[in-house]
Amino acid sequence: MISYAQLCQEKTKTSTNHQEIKSFQKASFDWYKKAAAQQHPTALRELGRLYGAGIGTEKNDLLSAEYLKMAGDKQDPLATLLLGGYYENGRGGLPKDIHLALNCYLKAIQLGQPTALFAAAEAYEKLGQYDKSYEYYNRVVNDTRISKQFKTYRTACLRRSLYSLNYDPTTLFHQPMASTLKSSHSLDKYSNLSITEAFQTIFSLATRDQFKEAYVWLAECYQDGNGTVKDMSQSIQWRTKAALEANDLYSMRKLACMYEQGIEVERDVTLAQKFYQMAADHRHS
């Protein structure tokens, strides 16, 4: 039953016919449901995923959480990781609790789920436990099971470098008009990267890998002369790329303010209005 359900899932990836895809999705769900009746952990997990996404069945977060919990109780690593996400977001009728989420992530790591390392790093970061957060970002970077092409790998490289430069990634969301995103927590004390190495990592992520999340931080480095020579021309160039290509709200608002007031740029009310409008559209999209 499991193998046929998985075969149906694979066929959805190769088919281009919408009705055929829907048929395979329904068949996959039905076979997983039969296997789940026998308490097969893979089937329980996949039912949780399918209910959560509304694939092959009606979307039902309550049932999704229920099946993920059953699979997690049977030591399924991925189900345990996903269940942590439900706790973190208060989904599926579960309480929103970052501590319960972190417990799930740590258990998933013990069960062999490598991507749970990144989830744990972010959870520790949200809890302000920056020493543990850096430790787990470092583990992501050094874990050979995680491809260097994965977003989690590149984000971990970025976050690890930000700590070395004493930038707090969470300030992007809480201080949209701050003159600098430098942290008051002395994050650099947790890092074993030099500021030059950290800057070069961010520079490579932005230029070589075109990793859009790095654009705004490269702009900050050039603005503050952090790990490199201060260069406002480069800062504005990368901040503009962050706004236009990465849809970075912080960059949109900061550019609008800079052009409106003529800070480090020639005053341009038209450009200021353009970036203010972009920010407004982005918030309501």
Whether the pLDDT of residue 122 is over 90: the answer is: yes
Same fold, 1-113 and 157-285: yes
Residues recorded for the chain: 285
| Per-residue pLDDT tens digits for 192-221 | 899 999 999 999 999 999 999 999 999 999
Q: pLDDT-derived band of residue 285, with 50, 70 and 90 as boundaries?
A: low
Q: Are 119 and 127 in contact (CB under 8 A)?
A: no
Sorted by sequence, the CB contacts under 8 Å of residue 177 that are 6+ apart come out as: 253, 254, 257
Q: Under CATH, which number does the domain 1-113 receive?
A: 1.25.40.10
Q: pLDDT-derived band of residue 148, with 50, 70 and 90 as boundaries?
A: very high
The CA–CA distances, whole Å, from 127 to 99, 101, 143, 166, 168 equal: 9, 12, 23, 17, 13
What's 212's DSSP letter?
G
End-to-end CA distance of the chain: 42
Whether the pLDDT of residue 110 is over 90: the answer is: yes
Q: pLDDT-derived band of residue 37, with 50, 70 and 90 as boundaries?
A: very high
Sorted by sequence, the CB contacts under 8 Å of residue 147 that are 6+ apart come out as: 153
Q: What is the pLDDT, as a whole number, of residue 200?
A: 98
Chosen CATH of 157-285 out of 2.102.10.10, 1.25.40.10, 3.30.930.10, 3.40.30.10: 1.25.40.10
| Per-residue pLDDT tens digits for 253-274 | 999 999 999 999 999 999 999 9
Query: Could you tell me the residue ranges of all domains in the chain?
Result: 1-113, 157-285
